[in-house]
Structure 1
Amino acid sequence: MANNSFNATPPRLRPLSGIFSATQRPGVATLRRELRKTMIHKLLGLPYDEWMGAFLPANDTTVDDASFDGLFDKVPIGSGETEMYKPFVDAVNGAEPAILDRFVLAKTFDKTDKTDKDKKKADGGMYPRDSPAVAQERTDWASVEVFIECKSNLTCDPYDEDTLSGHPYANTKRDALGQIATYASSVFEFQHRTHHFSVVLLGSWARLARWDRSGVIFSSKFDYKQEPAKLVRFFWRVARASAEVRGHDTTATRVLPGSDDYELLQAWKAKEKTLADDDYVAKRFVKSLSGDRPWWRLTVSNKTHGSRDFLVGRPTFAAAGVVGRGTRGYIALSISDPARPLVYLKDCWRMVHDRSKLEGNILSDLNEKGVANIPTALYHGDVEGQLTVSQTYWKPKPDPHTPSAKEENPFAEVDDVAVEAVPSGSDSAGQSEDADPGEPEYVDAKQKQKQTKIHCRMKTHQHYRLVVKEVGIPLQEFPSGRVLVRVIADAITAHEDAYNKAEVMHRDVSIGNILIIPPNAKQGKKEYQGLLTDWELSKRRSDENAEPRHPDRTGTWQFMSVHTLSKPEAQVQIADELESFLHIMIYCAIRYLPHTCDDVGEFMYSFFDDGRLVEEAEYTCGYFKRSVMKEGQLHDLAGKRILFLRTPRPPKPKDRSTTTKKMTLQPHPIEGLIITLLQWFSARYRLLPLEVDDDDDWEVAPFPDDLADSDEEPSDQSKVVLRAEKINSHSAMRTLLTKAYDRTGDFWPGPGDRQRDQLDPNFNPHKPQKTREKRTAPDGQPQEQPSSKRIRSASSQT
């Protein structure tokens, strides 16, 4: 089962600069910047009283407002953030009557969570009294109930009810949004939550927020020094609310010391040194139990199999981000099965649509039809009652920057759907262009064509779990170039089988959706096998002409074809899917095989992550990827051809004047495969119609026949057609890769061709080129790489 599924970049979002992409795990600063961009149209403001009534209605015990007058008088305003926080914590913790019941506020701005690789730390939060965060004054994402961020004034307010998208305009506010979004993402990653709450202090002002996988509902700001009861009321109610109201997943139970589940997992940890070398599943399961991350018992329920319980440790993959599917993957111990096998469990929030099908049902259907090289579905089902609610609070409202807006009341309701005059670069550019009868009179004819009905961009998500039999390893961990080719060929076979036997198109071919099943003596498996996983976004061929189930482009940005990225409204064709397999091969080869590319980071960003801005938050295929595929030659940004080699290049001598003999570079077998495939896809793009930007003011006139001249001789043109035809079906590409894998002798260089990851983990695409160090392909032994795929894009995420 894919351990990093559901990442697709929607047509209204940029390709995320590799941050949630397949390239690498980002640094904290970059993570903040990219996360806040995913929040466009995912934020919504409500008046304080309406917010409290919706999410934390009055308890049996009420708060005496008068008893807390002056509670925050000692909190200094105008000084630094750290100076504010201790008096604030002391005021809440020391209040009489006690506000937080069995909880307590802890200041944690000095120390990061020890188990968090990104080393993030919130200013503070509400924790159980026995949480290590309280005594150590250290952020603990696994036990925080409400995280709190403190800012000195309103210039860092992360929310803005005066924009249609909810996304603030000012850079300082956007930075603050990115910061708290990373904290919200960490709570979802370290705990099993349906939603959670946060507080942001802005000098003497405060806002509350509720986060779920659909979006963020924030409250209007209020002066907590002048009206302390408003903040007290929030903490009072949340501290006395049930675990379910606070957002805890009731089907996930934490495994605690002394329990039978704890002893069982401890026994597994003790097996670590006795496991066979090729028992990779058990080894990885034991590894997931190491460290300080909590262990959990998860329940998967459906009508056919009832409830099944599984024990899990650290996820093998956890998608960063707040909105969207929030996919996590686990190697799980099935304790409801007497044999207690190890299986793969995927926990996610699927998008709800009338025509959407459960991935478990799709897989079961493919299994019944004999589709090869795919996971075997065991159990699956929605988690009952766990549905996002943020989208239900959305109401259309006018753009407050137009004459018709009620600027004095940003929360004012509008009876009819409002229309916005959409200038180039506005937050709403690119939405559906339905005509609206109530257009404002000041809009001219050209603006009328761009006017937009404002639709809710928050999507309903349902919590869902799926268990499959096979446990694979990420494709990035391929041991050699030969195995890489074999695994991709197997995935193409799965795609072909699904297309022919079940009439299903996968529509999300990406590196995270191909897994490797290594040889295993215990199971009698002698060869590597590839699996094509994550079929939730697949579509039946009979539905290709139906209205799209999701308004966003489906797929994973980095591996989508040039055609699909350029024409998001076009139907996905076999050639598009096969091109995705080629991109996966290039991606793996450029990072892990020897080659002549001097700047891997620059190539990876420009080819896989970059996009061409059309409107604000709307991107199409980047120029570099488009040019490489049309030219049919792999080169760097300077136009220098990239060659894949059998062995790394030796370092060039410092004194070239003493060198009289040129080095002979031995090409890697994958070089010929990539050259051949690039020629096939280049032929396709040479035959596609000329693409021009859509603009009503321009029309392309036909070129005079007597002046038209082709750079192809008739015989060459026929070759182009023949090459393009090879990718209209699977057989040619599958046969090419299979024959290459089957070559024996010294055709393949052996496992020594696998290199360390050649992508500099500190690479920053936004840093000026002159400050970067260029890298050549280093020599060395392979090392285990964590799964690195991050967000795809909102549709897949949203």
Structure 2
Amino acid sequence: MRGKIDIPPTIKEFMDLYVQDYYPELNKNIFSGAPSFSNETDMYKWITDTINNSDVVDSNRLVCASTPYKSDRNDSTHQAVDLGLYPTKFKPINEGDGEYNRRVNWSRIDLSIECKVDPTDQDPFDESADDLLPIAADRKKALGQILTYVENVFMHQHRTLHYMILFLGHYARIVRFDHSGVYSTTKFNYKTHGAILTTFLYRYSARDAAQRGHDPTATRLELRDPLVAQMRKLGQEEKKANPDDHVQRMFNASLDNAWPWYKLEVHVQRKSGEPEPPRGRLRSHQPPRITRSFVVGKPHFDAGGVVGRGTRGYVAVEVDAGGQLVGPFVYLKDAWRVDHDGIEQEGCVLEELNHHKVPFVPTLVCHGDLKGQVTESQDAWAKRKVKNPQVKRTFKKHQHYRLVVAEVGKPLEEFGSGFKLVSAVFCCLLAHQAAYEKAGIIHRDISSGNILLYQGANGVWMGLLNDWELSKRVDSPAARQPDRTGTWQFMSARALNNPDKEILVEDEIEAFFHVLLFHAVRFLPHSIHPDRVPKFLEDYFDSCVTFDGEYRCGSAKSMAMEGGFISITTYNLTPTTLKFVQRNDMNTAHILDELISRLLCSFKEVYAEENAPGQPSRPVPAHEDVNAFWSALGQMSNVEADAPPVTPPKPTKVRSRGKSRAPKASRRRGQRKVAPAHSDQGPAPISLREHRPVIALFREFMTRATEWPTDDKGEDLRVKYVKAEDTVGLAPNRSRKHTLDNAQPAPSTSKRSRI
């Protein structure tokens, strides 16, 4: 959250920014009679009764309910905010004796209220610090708690913003959250200045749902809605469908009765060259906006977090004008994209890629910004005119945006074998090369979550290079954001060590390598002790060092790139390097080990150069014919969107030789003996300045299909650990797609301390 929090110097400034409207300011103070509180229980009981017994909040619309003990059944964090305002007809049900045994409902809560007895030691904001972030453990814990609460609201609802009231003893704060940042009032005594809080509650409850932060383009589907019945019927198609139909299974999994279902609007933006719709008499200045609607259940993917893009992905079905579900399953992406000069809408990028027939990328269906849904925190900060140069904020303007594509992929971690993992990465390398050379576009966010497995019409699984929202045109000026662009775990070491570095082809190729390594270490056999794999993954992919107050690349990744090998002495307690081996013979190398070694020695050559590489000139478009390569293998005849590639030849299962004394010459190349940890004989490096050499290297290994074992994938050795992010933490056991706005990791913390 560094640089994402601000506190205006006066409460009036906060009120004028966000809650100044035609509702009058109240002079009365309903909180003036607050007693001395010895514990939080006394606080939430008194506050609940005070709000509900007043005429400040319209009880026909909203009601205050206490929910301190029982978490939402649908919440993996098991957190429960003390109080909240709820729509009156959806007030949480009493689940025990007394008024205060209600269960929090993150999908219905309208405004959150949290109580702390200590006004100082439990205050989540430190107004004496330049960045307003607390240092004391209890205060950091309090900040982590409220961020978790808001994250749950954003996760279970479609919100443009969310308000929270913090009661800190006899003091209070009003806090506003949107995807740009967090704005809080200064701390004030509500016994003596409670008219401020009374006025806020009065104005808040008088506003309509959209003004209170509910997304008007998202309609919650209640149980009796006809669309719900249609969705259930469509979900029953699983009995008739192919059991291997992953898209049908994903849609069925989204029909979770404990999760809210929605109808989402997409305000369609016309494609390039598409004629403008005819203008009517009453709207002569603006063409009519086309709106398409899609129904969704539980999100298939949720990036989590409070500040940032907040990306969610759904398997969706379109709704026609008559309210009927039509067409095939599609994938709908809901995100708050960074609205910054030089950053194009992802749909526009996909339109360009589709036009140039770039293979292995999503096919655009429709996309568009949601009118009027733009964050405001960045504008509030701009108006502050802060004179202190030490006070730095990185509030970004975020625009709510939806994108629909035809392909519904599944995570790369569901690959079937090492050969199929390498094949998926190879497909995405081809996509990256074609986008760069044919369309002049570079991706800039190669990561595990952005490479999907997609099954074509003929049943073949291939890699799909997804999420082009951070891409840029090669020949355009660098589209710079206020801080790093990318996903920390997979960014190149040079990019991590140089926050202002422009992302080049060699950085992207290195990111592909890190994605390959990440999945190989998790699922394929190697020389790291299984119990130490989680620690290795944390050290290599998540760790960092600090230099001059800035986060830099962790030592494990840096040493691998500079040394040309990956030391695992720390994890095995013996001097050795990482080696990939056969599952039934630790002394025989897996063919992947040779590929990894070739790539590592090539990175060593790159990092050994005296000066950092400059911007290479854009190569002459000479993209190698993808069809020719696949056809040579007898694997495909066409890579057009309507004719996906056929399956690569099935690798022959490599039988274990046990203790065979067969001479070395009789061994397959993929079963070479593991080289000593410090062998002087190394593989020949290749150039990583352009795509061709690395694609040729992957081609070489894929043509050796019979050397790849078919049963080399094992269980996932990564434990479900959570690493807190500087942008905000993720809920335990949640998908870890870390596309960071700040790309600044932070030390690991408990689930209640998520800073």
User: Same fold judged by TM-score > 0.5?
Assistant: yes
**CA–CA distance in structure 2, aligned partners of residues 612 and 756 of structure 1:** 31
Match in the other structure for 1:48: 11
Q: Does 1:314 align with 2:298?
A: yes
Separation in 1 of the partners of 2:442 and 2:333?
Answer: 21
SS in 2 for 1:111: coil
- Structure 1 residue 75: deviation in Å? 4.3
Counterpart in the other structure of 1:600: 533
In the TM superposition, what is the alpha-carbon distance from 1:39 to its structure 2 partner?
4.2
Judge conservation of contact 1:624–1:637 (CA < 8 Å) in 2. no
After superposition, residues 281-680 of structure 1 pair within 5 angstroms as 281-304=247-270, 306-336=290-320, 339-394=326-381, 418-420=387-389, 428=390, 456-518=393-455, 523-525=457-459, 527-543=460-476, 546=477, 548-598=479-529, 599-616=532-549, 618-638=550-570, 639-647=575-583, 665-680=587-602
Give matches, 1:132-151, under 5 Å: 133-136=92-95, 137-151=102-116
The one of 608, 614, 633 equivalent to 1:686 is 608
* Residue 184 of structure 2 corresponds to residue 218 of structure 1: yes
**Deviation, structure 1 residue 203:** 0.2
Match for 1:528: what amino acid? W
1:456 deviation in Å? 4.5
Residue 46 to residue 267, structure 1, CA distance change in 2 (3 Å):
farther
Return the TM-score normalized by structure 1.
0.76
What is the CA distance between 1:464 and its match in structure 2?
Answer: 0.7
- How far off is 1:99 after superposition? 5.1
Gaps of 5+ in 1: 1-37, 397-412, 421-427, 429-453, 649-662, 692-715, 767-784
Q: Contact 2:56–2:202 at 8 Å: present in 1 too?
A: no
2: distance between equivalents of 1:465 and 1:510?
21
1:14-56 C-alpha deviation (Å, 9 max, x unpaired): xxxxxxxxxxxxxxxxxxxxxxxx2434333352233223322
CA contact (8 A) 1:324 1:796 kept: no
Write out per-residue CA displacement over residues 37-81 of structure 1, whole angstroms, 9 at most, x where no aligned residue: x24343333522332233223555x57644x55x4635442x122
Confirm or deny: 8 A CA contact 2:602 2:686 kept in the other structure.
yes
Q: Deviations over 1:104-148 (max 9, x none)?
A: 111111011111122221112111223262434111111111111
User: Alpha-carbon deviation of 1:644?
Assistant: 1.8
In the other structure, the counterpart of 1:5 is none
Alignment of 1:252-291 (within 5 A): 252-291=218-257
Query: Contact (CA 8 Å) 1:554, 1:796: kept in 2 or not?
Result: no
Going from structure 1 to structure 2, the CA distance change for 1:110 and 1:637 (only over 3 Å counts) comes to: farther
Cα separation, partners in 2 of 1:765 and 1:99, compared to 1, 3 Å: closer
* Change beyond 3 A, Cα 1:280–1:764: closer
Deviation at 1:343, TM superposition (A): 0.5
Taking a change above 3 Å as real, the CA distance of residues 359 and 45 of structure 1, as seen in their structure-2 partners, is same
For 2:701, the equivalent position in structure 1 comes to: 740
Structure with the bigger RCO (C-alpha within 8 Å, sep 6+) is 1
- Which amino acid in the other structure matches residue 737 of structure 2? K
RMSD: 2.8
Q: Does the 8 A contact of 1:324 with 1:795 survive in 2?
A: no
How far the C-alpha of 1:159 sits from its partner, in A, is 2.2
1:708 alignment counterpart: none
Q: Distance in 2 between matches of 1:110 and 1:178?
A: 18
Q: More deviation in 342-351 or 264-273?
A: 264-273
Structure 1 residues 719-738: aligned runs within 5 Å: 723-725=685-687, 727-738=688-699
- Following superposition, the deviation at residue 624 of structure 1 comes to 1.4
Aligned-partner SS, 2:209:
coil
Q: Deviations over 1:711-761 (max 9, x none)?
A: xxxxx99999x7252x2221222232233234344x2221x3222211122
Residue number in structure 2 paired with 1:207: 173
Partner Cα separation in structure 2 for residue 97 and residue 363 of structure 1: 50
Counterpart-to-counterpart distance in 1, 2:335 and 2:255: 21
**Paired letter, 1:632:** G
Shift of residue 309, structure 1, vs aligned partner: 0.4
CA 1:65–1:631: 2 relative to 1, 3 Å: same
Aligned-residue offset at 1:630: 1.4
Contact 1:343–1:468 under 8 Å retained in 2: yes
2:357 is paired with a residue whose SS is: coil
Q: Distance in 2 between matches of 1:164 and 1:613?
A: 19
Rate the CA distance shift 1:98–1:786 in 2: closer, same or farther, 3 A: closer
**Which residue number in structure 2 is paired with residue 182 of structure 1?**
148
Q: 1:579 corresponds to which letter in structure 2?
A: E
SS at match of 2:556: helix
User: How far apart are the structure 1 equivalents of 2:34 and 2:442?
Assistant: 63
Shift of 1:473: 0.4
Pair 1:81–1:174, CA change in 2 (3 A): same
Of 749, 752, 757, the match for 2:709: 749
2:191 is paired with a residue whose SS is coil
Instruction: Say which is worse superposed, 298-307 or 114-123, in terms of deviation.
Output: 298-307
Counterpart AA for 1:600: V
Query: Offset at 1:559?
Result: 0.7
Assess if the C-alpha contact under 8 Å between 1:73 and 1:225 holds in 2: yes
Q: Which amino acid aligns with 1:586?
A: L
| Kept in 2: contact 1:208–1:218 (CA 8 A) | yes
Say which is worse superposed, 172-181 or 284-293, in terms of deviation. 172-181
Shift of 1:280: 1.0
TM-score, structure 2 normalization: 0.80
> Is the Cα–Cα contact under 8 Å of residues 488 and 738 in structure 2 kept in the other structure?
no
Please report how far the alpha carbon of residue 312 of structure 1 lies from its aligned counterpart in structure 2 after TM superposition. 0.4
Residues 272 and 508 of structure 1, relative CA distance in 2, 3 Å threshold: same
Runs of 4+ in 1 over 6 A off after TM superposition: 716-720, 763-766
Alignment of 1:49-68 (within 5 A): 49-60=12-23, 62=24, 65-66=27-28, 68=29
Cα deviation digits, residues 414-465 of structure 1 (max 9, x gap): 6xx6254xxxxxxx5xxxxxxxxxxxxxxxxxxxxxxxxx565211111111
SS class of match (1:309): strand
SS at 1:382 equivalent = strand
Offset at residue 340 of structure 1 (A): 2.0
Pick closer, same or farther for the CA change 1:729–1:317 going to 2, 3 Å.
same
| Whole-angstrom CA distance in 2 between matches of 1:258 and 1:562 | 53
Residue 665 of structure 1 deviates from its aligned partner by 2.7
Contact 1:99 1:235 in 2 (8 A): no
Sequence identity (%) = 36
Going from structure 1 to structure 2, the CA distance change for 1:636 and 1:82 (only over 3 Å counts) comes to farther
Show CA shifts across 1:173-229 (max 9, x none): 232212111111111111101111001000011110111111111112222223333
Q: Find the aligned partners of 1:178 and 1:748 in 2 and give their Cα distance.
A: 46
1:509-546 Cα deviation digits (max 9, x unpaired): 11111010136xxx323x21101111121122212xx3
Alpha-carbon distance, 1:270 to partner: 2.6
Q: Tell me: CA distance 1:64–1:374, structure 2 relative to 1, closer, same or farther (3 Å).
A: closer
Q: Which amino acid aligns with 1:666?
A: T
What amino acid sits opposite 1:633 in the alignment?
A: F
